[in-house]
Amino acid sequence: MRTKNYFLIIPVLALLSFGCGRPEEGSTRAVIQNKGSDTLVNVAQAWAEAYQTVNPNVAVAVTGGGSGTGIAALMNGTVDIANSSREMKESEKVDLVAAGHAPKQHIVGYDALAIFLHPSNPINEISLQQLKAIYGDGGTIEKWSQLGVTVPGCDSDEIVRVSRQNNSGTYAYFREAVLEESDFKLGSRDMHGSKDVVDLVMHTACAIGYSGLAYASDEVKMPCVVSEADSPCVAPTIDSALDGSYPIARPLFMYTAGEPEGAVAEYLNWILSNDGQCIILGMGYSPATTPTCSAPAM
């Protein structure tokens, strides 16, 4: 997967214009402020860059920080679109309504939440039950030998748990889908971003981590996942995320405060168009629609 290493930086103005974009200082261009999920940040940047050729009169400013950060910014009126890899909490919806803006949810794609292992790890499949015992509070699996393997380079046999910070939608979704709303064990290494998870796992023989499929690289291994006894082990792929066969796949959201209008509405419509959906497919995610693309997914 090719990623962008830069942000389009536009100053945030005090003028609040929910759902329709806000004027750029000293210019007639509209600026759409877009913030949130680190899972979505790379594709959001790709959308923003491509949209400049579609409508040069609109600039899209993209920043990450996590799903919770984006939703908080939407509630306080500093962004037009919040990216989220989890569904908005009921408490967040209530707060947004109290601020006078009913939340509007837009599903822009789907993602398989992959499990990452060091390439030397001999494990090829893992179950949700085992993941819960590794990550969940009270879980009994602490050593790789408890899973019947010896990991070359992991002399301690200790399982190094790599996780995300608690403002992350990926963290929240893993807690819901894998831990069944129980707490995480203490002592995990909590990373700020998805790329950080992959980087730590690829350099740590004892490690296990989780994050969006689009952040996978050749330097990590992704086992297939078993949802329950006697069920097939399903690999994380674009197709298995879209058809629901992969047990920890999730929708990806963009939220607006109320029904979007003007430049924001046009931008979201373009994201869900054939061109916009070909971009998310090419970045390693499953599209929300069925686009016809001129080149195969990367």
How many angstroms separate the CA atoms of 107 and 132, rounded?
28
Which percentage of the chain shows pLDDT scores above 70?
89
- 229 falls in which pLDDT band (50, 70, 90)? confident
3-state SS class at 292: coil
pTM, two decimals, is 0.84
Contact 116, 210 (CB under 8 A): yes
Q: Which residue has the tokens 């291994």?
A: 221
| Backbone phi and psi for residue 264, each to the nearest 5 degrees, phi listed first | -65, -45
User: Of residues 10 and 290, which shows the higher confidence score?
Assistant: 290
User: Of residues 13 and 120, which shows the higher confidence score?
Assistant: 120
End-to-end CA, the chain = 6
Q: Which of 221, 220, 248 is nearest to 234 (CA)?
A: 248
Res 22: pLDDT = 56
For 118-158, the DSSP string reads -TT----EEEHHHHHHHHBTT----BGGGGT---TT-TT-B
Query: CA-CA distances (angstroms) from residue 58 to 19, 64, 178, 261?
Result: 14, 20, 40, 14
pLDDT tens, 158-209? Answer: 999 999 999 999 999 999 999 999 999 999 999 999 999 999 999 999 999 9
User: Of residues 26 and 3, which shows the higher confidence score?
Assistant: 26
Residues 6+ apart with CB under 8 A from 19: 80, 104, 256, 257, 258, 259, 260, 261, 262, 264, 265
Residues 6+ apart with CB under 8 A from 53: none
3-state SS class at 68: helix
Has residue 235 got a pLDDT over 70? yes
User: For 86, left (φ over 0), alpha (ψ -120 to 50), or beta?
Assistant: beta
3-state SS class at 169: helix
- 14 falls in which pLDDT band (50, 70, 90)? very low
- 29 falls in which pLDDT band (50, 70, 90)? confident
User: In the Cβ-directed half-sphere of 84, how many Cα atoms lie within 13 Å?
Assistant: 27
Please report which residue ranges of the chain form alpha helices under DSSP H: 38-54, 67-75, 90-98, 128-135, 169-177, 194-202, 238-243, 262-271, 274-282
Domains of the chain: 22-108+253-287 (3.40.190.10), 112-249 (3.40.190.10)
Res 220: pLDDT = 98
